[in-house]
Amino acid sequence: MTDRHILTAVAWPYANGPRHIGHVSGFGVPSDVFSRFHRMSGDQVLMVSGTDEHGTPITVAADAEGITPRQIADRNNRIIVDDLASLGLSYDLFTRTTTVNHRNVSQEIFLGLLKNGYVFPKTTLGAISPSTGRTLPDRYIEGTCPICGYDGARGDQCDNCGNQLDPTDLINPVSRINGETPKFVESEHYFLDLPAFARALGDWLGTRGNWRPNVLNFSVNLLEDLKPRSYTRDIDWGVPVPLDGWRDRDDKRIYVWFDAVVGYLSASIEWARRSGDPEAWRQWWQTPDADAYYFMGKDNIVFHAEIWPAQLLGYNGQGDKGGSPGSYGALNLPTEVVSSEFLTMEGRKFSSSRNVVIYVRDFLARYDADALRYFIAAAGPESQDTDFTWAEFLRRNNDELVAGWGNLVNRSVSMAAKNIGAIPTPGELTDADRALLATTSGAFAPIGDLLSRNRQKAAAAEAMRVVSEANKYLSDQAPWKLKEDPARRDTVLHTALQAIKDCNALLTPFLPHSSQKVHELLGGTGVWSAAPQIVETTDLDDGSPYPIITGDYAASQAVWASTPLPPAGTPLATPTPVFTKLDPSIVEEELRR
């Protein structure tokens, strides 16, 4: 184990429905590849997230179904937990924002900001529906964006230019629920004084030169137009505002985004409380050399590169008004906001309402989790918008996983099992043998460097290049032609199996499920790469039941280095294929679906 503490902070999926493969290509697979790589390197990773359960879409869904927001959240939390665990995402804790712990931590951050003067009260105009008299949530107001002129902008954000908006900013606002023009009435709110952080945010971003350029540029541009943002909303579902006269009101809550980002901290605290050392979270949040990497799709950048850092700076007393840290003490800012771009599907934007969508669970009902993980890592939207096509998914699966990696494993282990029935005894190595082993064992450093910088596409491509070197070695040495020279045949097979062991470690962050199988095919026993577990548990404070994702990842044997095969003579069985070859007919079939 190293002393390096790495927080993997994964965006919290919104609990208004099941997640599709576009979602998991943004926050999911990249964060898991990163965490698994660092755990293999011996670093102390804490990977946290949960379902984001407050906010208006959930109240609107609840109204539509005639059930409570909590019932909607409970149902979708469970679906999302199942999906993410099935994908093998190795959260130390995947929780939810409706816990008492999360409420308390969110309120502490608000109070710390208030104490330092970064949150202030102000009366503003809030939208209500003239026909019902009810508050009209920001997202349910649509109009023309005053910044870019896009005419489908919403009251909270313009999806075209990415700027945050207030409903009163919109030109020609209308209700998306019934088309009427909203009425704006006075309403008291608290605001986060973002302009007071312009200098501190600028200084911080000025030290972030190794971020992806598009993420950094976008974040720096946000600083040009910092305005106070409403910290509270007229809504009855969310974290109560922890002030006398506000706490018990059922029409004011903290804005969903301002509690959701606090989730990274509250989940770390919940994890520590569950681990039996309630202070353990501090190692990831308060030691100066701890790192925190935040993973998300690009529509979330503003909240992670501006709002959350501002909340942290204000809580720490590091904005223009100074101040002192709240009762937790000063908290670390993000090391990096790792944002991916968008995944489209067969040339179109994902849309649940227009049925342009592939839900994670539907995908996993028909295909292996590792096949999807590999596609996302090798061909996903890492730094530009990328199209998912079934034809490309089929090609990556059949050519790279099955014919490339799977075939190397299958033919080598088959030959050793058939001829020797065990790990062979190697004789003296030739130059060709040594060259292959130098290639595979030498690949950990450069691929590790790519993974530590989240260049996962390049890392996956390089790992597959090493696999093809091993395939070439096997074809060149042709152990099947060495019947007359069993000693040399055994040396070639031993070399190939050792190369496979190295390649398997290199591919483990991408392919945790199949790497366990390959480990066993090579005569290994025990856990190679631990899988996440769903555990039915209860709220630490109020006892209500919910499922979490957690895992004993320290039980994994996988390390980021070349490790020797089991001793010669360890029995090997005839392998079953590690990957499933897909019939080209699935492309037509899926396109019809």
- Name the residues that contact ligand MET, by CB under 6 A: 11-14, 52, 260-261, 263, 300
Q: What CA–CA distances, in Å, run from 411 to 249, 252, 568?
A: 68, 65, 19
Whose Cβ is closer to ligand MET: residue 102's or residue 252's?
102
Q: Please identify the residue of the shown chain whose CB is closest to the bound ligand MET.
A: 52
Distance, in Å, from the CA atom of 158 to the CA atom of 147, rounded to the nearest integer, reads 9
The least CB distance from residue 81 to ligand MET, in Å, is 15
Whose Cβ is closer to ligand MET: residue 356's or residue 565's?
356
Q: Is 553 left (phi over 0), alpha (psi -120 to 50) or beta?
A: alpha
Whose Cβ is closer to ligand MET: residue 267's or residue 378's?
267
The least CB distance from residue 301 to ligand MET, in Å, is 11
Whose Cβ is closer to ligand MET: residue 173's or residue 263's?
263
Question: What residue has token string 């908290």?
Answer: 331
Q: Is 172 left (phi over 0), alpha (psi -120 to 50) or beta?
A: left
Q: Phi first, then psi: what are they for 366, rounded to 5°?
A: -110, -25
The least CB distance from residue 131 to ligand MET, in Å, is 30
Distance, in Å, from the CA atom of 87 to the CA atom of 100, rounded to the nearest integer, reads 28
Q: What is the DSSP string of 35-63?
A: HHHHHHTT-EEEEEEEEB--SHHHHHHHH
Burial of 428 (0-12, 13-18, 19+ CB in 10 A): exposed
Whose Cβ is closer to ligand MET: residue 14's or residue 546's?
14
Question: What residue has token string 């059949």?
Answer: 398
The least CB distance from residue 340 to ligand MET, in Å, is 13
Residue 15 near residue 80 (C-beta atoms within 8 A): yes
The least CB distance from residue 188 to ligand MET, in Å, is 26
The least CB distance from residue 439 to ligand MET, in Å, is 41
The least CB distance from residue 267 to ligand MET, in Å, is 10
Whose Cβ is closer to ligand MET: residue 257's or residue 390's?
257
Whose Cβ is closer to ligand MET: residue 454's or residue 498's?
454
Distance, in Å, from the CA atom of 260 to the CA atom of 245, rounded to the nearest integer, reads 24
Tokens read off for 419: 């001829």
The least CB distance from residue 107 to ligand MET, in Å, is 17
Whose Cβ is closer to ligand MET: residue 261's or residue 460's?
261
Residue 253 near residue 240 (C-beta atoms within 8 A): yes
Distance, in Å, from the CA atom of 97 to the CA atom of 76, rounded to the nearest integer, reads 13
Whose Cβ is closer to ligand MET: residue 30's or residue 263's?
263
Which residues on neighbouring strands pair with residue 258, listed in sequence order?
none
The least CB distance from residue 233 to ligand MET, in Å, is 15
The least CB distance from residue 58 to ligand MET, in Å, is 11
Whose Cβ is closer to ligand MET: residue 260's or residue 549's?
260
Which is it for strands 171-175 and 141-144: parallel, antiparallel or unpaired?
A: antiparallel
Which of these, 82, 71, 64, lies nearest to 18 by C-alpha position? 82
The least CB distance from residue 34 to ligand MET, in Å, is 17
Whose Cβ is closer to ligand MET: residue 85's or residue 256's?
256
Residue 242 near residue 107 (C-beta atoms within 8 A): yes
Whose Cβ is closer to ligand MET: residue 34's or residue 405's?
34
The least CB distance from residue 14 to ligand MET, in Å, is 4
Number of helical (H) and strand (E) elements in the chain, helices listed first? 22, 18
Strand, coil or helix: 237? coil
3-state helix, strand, coil in the chain (%, to 5): 45, 15, 35
Q: What is the DSSP string of 455-482?
A: -HHHHHHHHHHHHHHHHHHHHHH-GGG-
Q: Phi first, then psi: what are they for 178, rounded to 5°?
A: -135, 10
Sign of CA dihedral 478, 480, 481, 486: positive
